[in-house]
């Protein structure tokens, strides 16, 4: 009986263009939620600490080569291996704030020219987010934030394609956030949207019907 009284946590995903401030905002959000007694945890994909994550890191930093399909499946496996823990935490009442998820998975591989429907298949059945906040930032503004880094995908042409593909993936879970504002403005905006989600999802079941 007691277990039934635990309200589940919300699965909140932050997605967005490179340099849009996802990591900054995820960590500020978790600090805020924690300070307000909302049990929450920050997760990030790719999780570079696991064995699949180490292979992904080596690919992204150009230390190794992998074919496009293989690395796509590694990114998906990197999410799958986190699913059991994520489900347990959500059901135990912890709200998860996730820095990149399946949308990055599909957008980056499809930007290389692979079929979008193929790209979606390995993630079918992963936990469905309650809210996806997409931090949108024009490429020029992103470049003004210190330019792109040295990792494999951090190139202007790639980032332009990825943004277009991201926008094709918009669904009913998405809310667009204008990331071309001050960190503080964005933070307040995100906070409001997340609090209203956390307040309203408790009676909705946790779903694993992604992309179906
Ligand atoms: N990838 C994939 O291919 N398949 C997948 O399935 C997944 C990912 C999950 C690594 O991701 C790569 O993996 C990524 C996608 C691909 N490749 N690319 N490109 P990552 O998450 O590890 O990448 P990252 O380097 O940590 O994230 P990022 O996108 O570059 O940055 P961000 O997290 O969005 O931004 P930030 O680190 O918070 O901020 C960036 C800078 O801007 C920093 O100096 C901030 O201080 C500054 N900043 C932040 N907000 C503002 C505002 N509002 N104004 C001004 N300046 C700001
Ligand atoms: Mg980041």
Give the CA distances from residue 108 to residues 35, 41, 120, 206, in Å, rounded to whole numbers and listed in that order. Answer: 35, 25, 12, 27
Encoding tokens for residue 141?
A: 């503004």
| Dihedral sign from CA coordinates of 60, 61, 64, 65 | positive
Range of the domain at 40: 2-198
Within a domain: residue 18? yes
Is the C-beta atom of 182 inside 6 A of ligand 1?
A: yes
Cα-Cα-Cα-Cα torsion 25, 22, 163, 171, nearest 10 degrees, comes to -70
ipTM for the whole complex: 0.97
Residue 211 lies in a domain: no
How distant, in Å, are the alpha carbons of 62, 143, 212 from that of 102? 22, 24, 13
Which tens digits make up the pLDDT trace of 13-54?
999 999 999 999 999 999 999 999 999 999 999 999 999 999
Residue 209 counted as domain residue: no
* 47: in domain: yes
pLDDT greater at residue 62 or residue 2: 62
Per the domain annotation, does 210 fall within a domain? Answer: no
Residue 148 CA, closest ligand 1 atom number: 30
Q: What ligand has the least distance to the C-alpha of 20?
A: 1
Domain harbouring 16, CATH code: 3.40.50.300
Using DSSP, state whether 100 is helix, strand or coil: coil
Q: Mean pLDDT throughout 140-148?
A: 88
Does the beta carbon of 72 sit less than 6 angstroms from any atom of ligand 1? no
- Per-residue pLDDT tens digits for 84-93: 999 999 999 9
Ligand 1 neighbour 183 (Cβ under 6 A): yes
The predicted model scores a pTM of 0.97
Is residue 207 situated within a structural domain? Answer: no
Q: How far is the CA of 18 from the centre of ligand 1 (A)?
A: 5
Q: Is ligand 1 within 6 A of the CB of residue 100? A: yes
Ligand 1 pocket mutation pick from 145, 169, 179 by most atoms within 8 angstroms of CB = 145
pLDDT at 1 over 70: no
Whether residue 63 lies inside any domain: the answer is yes
Q: Is 190 exposed, middle or buried (0-12, 13-18, 19+ CB in 10 A)?
A: buried
Task: Give dist(CA 58, CA 120) in Å, integer.
Answer: 23
Domain count for the chain, please give it.
Answer: 1
Q: Per the domain annotation, does 204 fall within a domain?
A: no
DSSP state of 172: T
């Amino acid at each position: 009986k007691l277990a039934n009284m635990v309200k589940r946590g919300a699965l909140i995903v932050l997605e967005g263009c490179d340099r849009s401030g996802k990591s900054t905002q995820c960590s500020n959000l978790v600090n805020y939620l924690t300070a307000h007694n909302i049990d929450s945890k920050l997760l990030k994909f790719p999780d570079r600490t696991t064995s699949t994550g180490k292979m992904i890191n080596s690919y992204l930093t150009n230390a190794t080569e992998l074919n496009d399909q293989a690395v796509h499946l590694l990114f998906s496996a990197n999410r799958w291996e986190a699913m059991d823990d994520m489900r347990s935490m959500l059901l135990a009442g912890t709200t998860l704030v996730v820095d990149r998820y399946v949308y990055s998975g599909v957008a980056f591989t499809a930007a290389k020219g692979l079929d979008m429907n193929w790209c979606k298949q390995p993630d079918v059945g992963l936990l469905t987010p309650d809210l996806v906040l997409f931090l949108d930032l024009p490429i020029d503004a992103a470049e003004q934030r210190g330019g792109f880094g040295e990792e494999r995908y951090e190139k202007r042409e790639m980032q332009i394609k990825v943004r277009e593909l991201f926008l094709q993936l918009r669904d009913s879970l998405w809310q667009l956030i204008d990331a071309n504002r001050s960190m503080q403005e964005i933070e307040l905006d995100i906070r409001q949207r997340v609090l209203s989600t956390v307040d309203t999802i408790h009676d909705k079941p946790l779903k694993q019907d992604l992309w179906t």
